Amino acid sequence: MKNIFAISLFLLFFSQLLFAVPQNLEAYLSYATFAIPGEGPYLETYLQVQGNSLIYKMNDSGKFQGSVLVTLIIRQDTNIVDFRKYELFSPHLDDTLSIMPNFIDQQRILLSNGNYTLDVALSDANRNDKPIVVNLPLEIAIPNDAISISGIQIIESFSKTSEQNLLSKSGYDFIPYIDNFFPTEKSKLTFYAEIYNPLPPSEILDKFLVSAHIESFESKNMLNDYVRIKREDARQVIALFSEFDISKLPSGNYNLVVSVRDKQNQIVAQNTAFFQRFNSNISNTAFDLTSIDIANSFVLRYKNVDTLRENIRSLGPIATEMERIFISTQIMNSDITSLQQFLYNFWAIRNRTDPSGEWEKYRIEVLKVNNTFSTQIKKGYETDMGRVYLQYGPPNTISDAPFETAGYTSQVHSGKIDSGSVPYQIWHYYTLNENRERNKKFVFINSGLRTTDYLLVHSDAKGEIQNYNWQRMLSRNLDVDDYNPESIKRDRSRSAERFNNPF
């Protein structure tokens, strides 16, 4: 699950397991940015605490109850914009043998346009453990001269509003679905979004189409069985509240897309929400290749089965989940014709008019990646750096920190170097996924001195691993006697500067 930042009036809906320590506090956090026309933007934070991860004690009423100490700080550079510290209590329980229910806290915070950092600290009030602190980037920029779409809030449950409260929107109380992972038992995807039209209706925009659909995250192909379209009159705010039956949606990575189109069918606003589906009721491995016509196609020049298999393996970084399953389980047992049909179909899906040209462009990129990132045991496209390069293209900037000694005294013991920081790189992309994501970074670290394989440990892009404590992974082979807290603090400051202000 993960993470998702949006700009302007877009709803920022980001979800991840922020705190997960064995036999310790577990909690999920998501947050959202809305705008009320004429009043400005505000941030909503949603914190879900896993009830079975708390220690419960009997309170004065004879009931068992757990509690979490929460601190929320919003910073802009070094200035604290908002500070909240409170104790969040669980529901009352008659005993501690029953199922411990999860519970949610929601906060609303008024913010102006700008870039911020959200600091979150959580601790179990009934433990003596130190709080776990996570720092998350936040961006708000609200346009006042264009139609905008809020982000897409995934809903766990809803009810009619009887009395206005923090959960209320458009006449309903929404309980947010904090995760973006949908297991087999979740058969519905319910969502809410808002469309803002601050401009007076014009000849072009007096009516427009509002659509929602599900698409493959990797190929961006729309799934025709999951489409909603509605014609709307132009007005200041339109609430979109709908759901899809995903009981037959196969396992994979997807985008839920909301779009606004004008009379010329041109997109004037769009936003997406990434989600993952696991569906054990639907087989992902069945590919009907028998109907694929490969006569006179480019794949016929590949007559060596080993070459075909290698070419198909190289597609992994950009393949859909279903395609990856075929690649990992079927290519060794498939005959040469089936492999040719798969390779052709893979590129025909992505470019019907020129599948050969599309494959040739990708093949050249694979050669570059193999020359640059291959190790003694991995092809370049099998490495994290190679995969990211092939999936997103070359980064716009790379911040390279090959060796830093900040927090500890460097020493040599039997040819082994101890250092305060392992080599790492931060890749920065101005835009990703057809300009749907902006200002995204990828952090790679090299934890071994004798290998060139850098592992991806954190990214703020959709669908990628997210670990906002990645700076703790930079320390290597440290000697307690050489510990220097101030130097380590400076080292983390440098890595944070590289991440926040890439060059």
Write the DSSP string, 417-454: EEBSB--EEEEEEEEETTTTEEEEEEEEE---TT---P
Amino acid found at 410? S
Strand 26-36 relative to strand 148-149: parallel, antiparallel, unpaired? unpaired
What is the distance between the alpha carbons of residues 492 and 494, in angstroms, rounded to a whole number?
A: 5
Neighbours of 502 (CB within 10 A): 17
What is the distance between the alpha carbons of residues 453 and 386, in angstroms, rounded to a whole number?
A: 10
- What is the fold, at CATH topology level, of the domain defined by 145-156+171-282? Immunoglobulin-like (2.60.40)
Sheet holding 67-76, edge to edge: 79-89, 67-76, 114-124, 132-140
- Output the tens digit of pLDDT for each of the chain's 503 residues: 333 322 222 223 334 444 444 357 889 888 878 888 778 888 888 899 999 999 999 988 999 999 999 999 999 988 999 999 999 999 999 888 778 899 999 999 999 888 899 999 999 999 988 888 888 888 887 777 778 888 788 999 999 999 998 888 889 999 999 888 999 999 999 999 988 875 555 554 567 889 999 999 888 889 999 999 998 887 888 899 999 999 999 988 999 999 998 878 889 889 899 999 999 888 765 567 888 899 999 999 999 999 999 999 999 999 988 898 889 988 999 999 999 999 999 999 899 999 999 999 999 999 999 999 999 899 999 999 999 999 999 999 999 988 654 443 333 333 443 445 789 999 999 999 887 788 899 999 987 755 678 999 999 888 898 887 788 888 754 443 444 445 445 555 577 677 776 65
Can you give the length of the chain in residues? Answer: 503
Contacts of 157 (CB under 8 A, 6+ apart): 174, 175
Helix (H) / strand (E) element for 330: namely none
What is the distance between the alpha carbons of residues 437 and 447, in angstroms, rounded to a whole number?
A: 29
Of 275, 283, 101, residue with least CA distance to 188: 275
Identical topology for domains 1-142 and 145-156+171-282: yes
Tokens 């498939």, residue? Answer: 334
Q: Which CATH number fits domain 1-142: 3.40.50.2300, 2.60.40.10, 3.40.50.850, 3.40.50.2000?
A: 2.60.40.10
- Angular region, 5: left φ>0, alpha ψ -120 to 50, beta rest: beta
Tell me the domain boundaries of the chain.
1-142, 145-156+171-282, 298-389, 395-500
Amino acid found at 2? K
